[in-house]
Amino acid sequence: MRRWVGLLLGLGLVLAQPTPAERAEGLRARLVEAQLELAFDPQAAAGLLQAAQAEAAALAKAGLTVDLKPLEEALGARDEAAFARARARLWTDLLRQGYLRLEEAVRSGDLAAARGWALLREYRPATRYAAPEAEATLALEELRQGRLKPEEALLAVRADLLGAYQARLEAALRDLEEAQSQGQPVRAAEQRALAQGYFEILAPAYREARGAARLAEARQALASGPLGAIREALSGFQAAPLSPRERARRANQTLRFLDLVAVEYGRGVVGPAGAVRVTKSLEIEEATAFLESARAAWSALEPMFPAAKVEGVRQGFKGLEQGLQAARQGDNPPSAQALEEGVRALRQELEALLPAEWRRADPAGDLEVIRQQLKALENAVAQGRYDLAETARMDAYALLESGPEARLRVFAPALALEIEDLFWNGPDGLARLIRQKAPPSEVRETRRRLEAKLHEASGFLSTQSAPAATLANAAVIVFREGLEAVLILAALLGSLKRPEVRRFRRPLWQGALLAFGVTVLTWFAMRGLLTQFARYGERLEAVVSLLAIAVLLLIMNWFFHQVYWTDHLAGFHQQKQRLLRAETGQYLGLLSLGFVSVYREGFETVLFLQSLVLQSSLAPVLLGIGLGLLATVGVGLGVFALQAKLPYKRMLIATGVLLLLVLFTMVGTTAHVWQVVGWLPVHPIGGLALPYWAGMWLGLYPTWEGLGLQVLAVVAVLGSYFLAEGLKRRALPNNLRHT
């Protein structure tokens, strides 16, 4: 029995032993404390350094080399700069040794050792909106599960860690520049030593890329050269080359986050230059966080460009950082316009550097930005700032609608609707919760559900569209939206075939052609203002749809009374028509109906097509538009040819039914849009589940409001028809007596 107890106790002691990563962190912490004590209490610093000896001995048993002599010498001389330099080099050397052992463990297939050494590392500079990478940990887990080969896992480990250490190297150089400019010799010594240490981890990749001679020059520059020489030596060097997709993701995150800096800052200050006041400090903090995130994303791309070309970008970031710092300190902050101009100038510098294929929108990357904005929303709710939460919600939704949503509607339409409901006025929608000032716990729960849906959506968006898929998507979108416009025009024009009303066909055509031209102009306008247009896209569609329904109801009522009734009235009514011929209102009404019927579909089409251009390229989208238009024109010609062969009475009935179907669909779709934007309440019909195509093609959604309005519209139109028929029958005997 004692033997088993002894074995268990021994096993417990083994399991309780700190890992090399924990030992290294303990050593680092004691040396940091010793450096702080050195200037005030050298004896305390000596005690901390002695305590660090135990951690160093434990690391030596794990196979790591730890040399504390330079630290002891610096402590004896009370040289703070030398102590800081030695501490930085010791820490980065531990990271280098840990990385080498991690590579060895992965190559040999020793997963237990690999997982242990993977903990001894640093991450890319993390911000509130740019989480540290963890590809190495995920790769090791996939290797354990047999989903990755050792060589594939090793590539992922290298990409993650070497990318992280290169980002740390860039951060150390920025801190070195700042320390030198502020006359801080101790900090400058530490940051130069850190830069040297991080570079040594990257040195094998540097030698492989540029040779031993260039490596020696780079080491000399890092040891004692000016910053210009260091940046020149590192210019264009990338230790772990990024994949094309990763480059696009970093580039898009840089630009997306940078744009948000000006937006958030503008909401937090008021007043002209020289008299600027900070009114919302939380907005300034958000602007600062977004700038940090943009800088972190750019840091992975910066080494790929010559140092001379990125100098303007560095200065742009530096100027914005100084402006935001002044705002946080209340020390003569820049005006919103001045900071926006700074952002615009920096964006121009970045766009001049970044290749076009890198700047192509990445929907999966957009989802990451959206997730971070949702975190800002939750933070605002936690502080009771529901106004700021609503702003963050609209920002996130604008980005969703201007990019990923169109593609989601093609590949995962049901998921797109679920995400939309969570953003807006579903039972637990964020818009509803913010409007009702719901407690933070409810908002947090909805945000988590929404993030889960966004994570699910990333699976549909993670692979870039092939040109053929983009072409097909564009053609389907154009055909679907164009078909609805054709049906409306066919119904209206078919009801205006008789000679006495044929003159009213012209304003319909003119309105439709005008809408087509305005749609083309909208295409070009949205090229530069996509996000701003997308912010109001749903609301604009709601207003335009309501106008279309109102005009359509009026014109249908006029059809029944003008076509069915006036034709049978005798000379009194004809004379009245001639005396009171006020056709301007009818002309404008038909012109506006033709315009709204086409432009309503055109606006939505342009919005979706622009997102496809950003996701792929212009050429396949234009080809898809051409195919969609050809199909729409073909169907339109077929419809109009069919109408030409129909007798008047049958044609009138057919087009009347067609128009009624279009009205039914339009009312349902418009009611749904109004519910999405919160202008109409939502009361779901329990137990009623409708397929997705029912909403897309018939405007059928399982809510009492939507179905009720659709029924009401049909009843109103049919009631108008029977009323017209009744009045016609009552008037017929009087007409006969006057003939």
Helix axes 227-234, 185-224, angle to 10 degrees: 50
Which candidate, 485, 491, 502, 484, places its Cα nearest to that of 652? Answer: 491
Residue 560 Cα distances to 44, 579, 724, angstroms: 98, 22, 6
Predicted confidence at residue 371, as pLDDT, reads 80
Q: Terminal CA-to-CA distance of the chain, rounded, Å?
A: 124
- Pair of tokens at residue 132: 């540290």
Predicted confidence at residue 542, as pLDDT, reads 62
Predicted confidence at residue 300, as pLDDT, reads 78
Alpha carbons 255 and 261: distance in angstroms, whole number: 10
The backbone torsions φ and ψ at residue 679, rounded to the nearest 5 degrees and listed phi first, read -90, -5
Helices of type H across 354-494: 356-359, 363-382, 386-402, 404-411, 413-423, 430-435, 440-461, 467-494
Residue 302 Cα distances to 218, 308, 311, 342, angstroms: 17, 11, 10, 19
**Topology (CATH) of 242-357:** Four Helix Bundle (Hemerythrin (Met), subunit A) (1.20.120)
CA 244 distance to own-chain centroid: 19
Indicate left, alpha or beta for 225 from its phi (over 0: left) and psi (-120 to 50: alpha): beta
Helix axes 150-181, 135-144, angle to 10 degrees: 170
Predicted confidence at residue 592, as pLDDT, reads 74
pLDDT in tens, 612-635: 565 456 777 788 888 888 887 887
Predicted confidence at residue 687, as pLDDT, reads 65
pTM: 0.50
Which candidate, 446, 450, 424, 444, places its Cα nearest to that of 435? Answer: 424
Alpha carbons 398 and 409: distance in angstroms, whole number: 16
**DSSP per position, 513-543:** HHHHHHHHHHHHHHHHHHHHHHHTHHHHHHH
The single residue listed with the structure tokens 């301007």 is 584
Alpha carbons 197 and 203: distance in angstroms, whole number: 10
Predicted confidence at residue 574, as pLDDT, reads 42
Which candidate, 289, 279, 294, 278, places its Cα nearest to that of 327? Answer: 278
**DSSP per position, 481-497:** HHHHHHHHHHHHHHTT-
Return the bridge partners of 130, or none: 127
Q: Judge contact between 412 and 458, C-beta under 8 A.
A: no
Predicted confidence at residue 581, as pLDDT, reads 47
Alpha carbons 339 and 323: distance in angstroms, whole number: 7
User: How would you class 193 by CB atoms within 10 Å of its CB: exposed for 0-12, middle for 13-18, buried for 19 or more?
Assistant: buried
- Pair of tokens at residue 620: 């396949």
For the chain, domain boundaries: 6-234, 242-357, 360-464, 467-737
pLDDT in tens, 323-348: 999 999 888 899 999 999 999 999 99
pLDDT in tens, 587-617: 676 677 778 767 767 776 776 666 556 545 6
pLDDT < 50 stretches in the chain = 1-15, 129-131, 410-411, 462-466, 530-537, 562-582, 615, 646, 648, 651-652, 655
